[in-house]
Structures are given as structure tokens and as C-alpha cells.
A and B are shown apart, each in its own frame.
Chain A
Amino acid sequence: NAGVTQTPKFRILKIGQSMTLQCTQDMNHNYMYWYRQDPGMGLKLIYYSVGAGITDKGEVPNGYNVSRSTTEDFPLRLELAAPSQTSVYFCASSSPTTKTQYFGPGTRLLVL
């Protein structure tokens, strides 16, 4: 039981490049989330999903896109990378009843 896995662990992007951050969970959780973490700012919700085919914006969605075609996977897409997207990105999942969110190990992204 791996829990929530994220790839890659670290990535350097040039301004204007695009990339997809991968997230997979094996707990059969309906709910999945993407956060970004910046120093001194806590975690900010980017997007979330309540099930396959259903996604919604969080607090800071600009510059990102998501899709959810399966229960297990919830990739995050950056289309035109900007320096402001330099951050650590965390994926999490939960079930509707237990409400506890389980986090992946994170992806550190540097945009230069």
C-alpha cells in the first residue's frame, strides 16, 4: 500500500515551458487535491476533485489545469511556466467520510 505517490520529485523548468505533475493514490479515495506550499504561507489549494470526471477550482487556480479520468490519478498541468509558480506542490487524497487528507511526498518545482 503505497498511499499517495508523486512524480517527479524535483524539476527545473524554463519560463514558458509546460509540464505535468503526476499524482496517484491506491486507497480508492474519491477526493483528491493539489496544493502549493510557499515559505511562510502554509498550503494553498489549487484544484480539487470529488470523483472521476469532476474537478473544481481552489484558492489559487490561475496558471494550472487538472483532469481526473480515473479514481487513482489526478495530474496537474502547468501550461506556460512562470517564476511565480516556483513552489513545492503536494497532492493529497481523502474519503468523504473520514475526511482525513493523506499527502504525497511533494514535487519541488523551480522555474527560471
Chain B
Amino acid sequence: AQSVTQPDIHITVSEGASLELRCNYSYGATPYLFWYVQSPGQGLQLLLKYFSGDTLVQGIKGFEAEFKRSQSSFNLRKPSVHWSDAAEYFCAVGPILTGGGNKLTFGTGTQLKVEL
């Protein structure tokens, strides 16, 4: 069964500092990988996704993520964090093969706090 681990429950960074949020997955084959962001009281918004090809993917709001097959990881990064990035971030994994509802498995989330 697939699983996603986000080992950091809370992370605090200073505005302008760099950020890396960790995500490790367990999956039987190469999966689709996603990062979503959730602001307080809001739904989830897609930041970026990896399906195939270049293992470094760019997303919205200046975020990027790197797929490392050998480490089963898909870490999210941002060079310089803005106060508006404070939110909860979810990593998710899903099947490459179409069918079966394309169900996603989500990690438990990382809460990001930004200090001014």
C-alpha cells in the first residue's frame, strides 16, 4: 500500500530565509507526486506536480520540488520565504495508470510559520 511521510509537523523560518519541506513516499511503481498548500480556513491549492521527465519541477509562488527516485523523496523548496507563505503544506502520491479513480494518498502535512 502506498504511504506518504512528512516528517516535520511544524517548521518556523525567518522571512527571506530558504525553505525545504521534506516528503518521502512508499509506492510500488513510479507515482505521480503533488504538493498542495492550504491557507487557514481554505481549501487545498495545487503548488506543483511531477508526472515524468525533468526531476526538478517548478510551481506557483516561486516553489520548486525535486523528485529523487533513489531516495523516494519529493522535497519542496523555496529560495526566499515571504510572510504570505505561512500555511500548511501537503505532499500527495497517486497512480500513474489511469483508472481506479486516480485516488491520492496524502501526508499528514507540515505547518509553516514565518517569522518577520
Q: A: which residues have CB within 8 A of B?
A: 4, 31, 33, 40-43, 45, 48-50, 56, 58, 90, 92, 94, 96-97, 99-106
8 Å CB contacts to A: which residues of B75-116? 90, 94, 98-99, 101-104, 106-109
Q: How many chain B residues have a CB neighbour from A under 8 Å?
A: 24
Q: Taking the complex as formed, is B44 at the interface, i.e. its CB lies under 8 A from any CB of chain A?
A: yes
Which residues of B are found within 8 Å of A45, using beta-carbon distances? Answer: 103-104
Whole-angstrom distance between the alpha carbons of A49 and B100 in the complex?
9
Whole-angstrom distance between the alpha carbons of A99 and B98 in the complex?
8
Whole-angstrom distance between the alpha carbons of A97 and B96 in the complex?
10
CB pairs A–B below 8 angstroms (15 shown) = A4-B43, A33-B103, A41-B108, A42-B106, A43-B90, A43-B106, A45-B104, A48-B101, A49-B101, A90-B44, A96-B102, A100-B34, A103-B43, A103-B45, A105-B43
Which residues of B are found within 8 Å of A104, using beta-carbon distances? Answer: 43
Whole-angstrom distance between the alpha carbons of A102 and B98 in the complex?
17
Whole-angstrom distance between the alpha carbons of A102 and B28 in the complex?
25
Q: B: which residues have CB within 8 A of A?
A: 9, 32, 34, 36, 41-46, 49, 51, 90, 94, 98-99, 101-104, 106-109
Whole-angstrom distance between the alpha carbons of A101 and B104 in the complex?
9
Which residues of A are found within 8 Å of B41, using beta-carbon distances? Answer: 106
Which residues of B are found within 8 Å of A49, using beta-carbon distances? Answer: 101
Tell whether A90 pairs with B101 under 8 Å between CB atoms, given A41-B108, A43-B90. Answer: no
Tell whether A99 pairs with B108 under 8 Å between CB atoms, given A45-B103, A48-B103. Answer: no
Which residues of A are found within 8 Å of B42, using beta-carbon distances? Answer: 105-106
Which residues of A are found within 8 Å of B9, using beta-carbon distances? Answer: 40
The smallest beta-carbon distance between B3 and chain A, in angstroms, is: 11
The reply to whether A96 and B99 contact each other, CB–CB distance below 8 Å, is yes
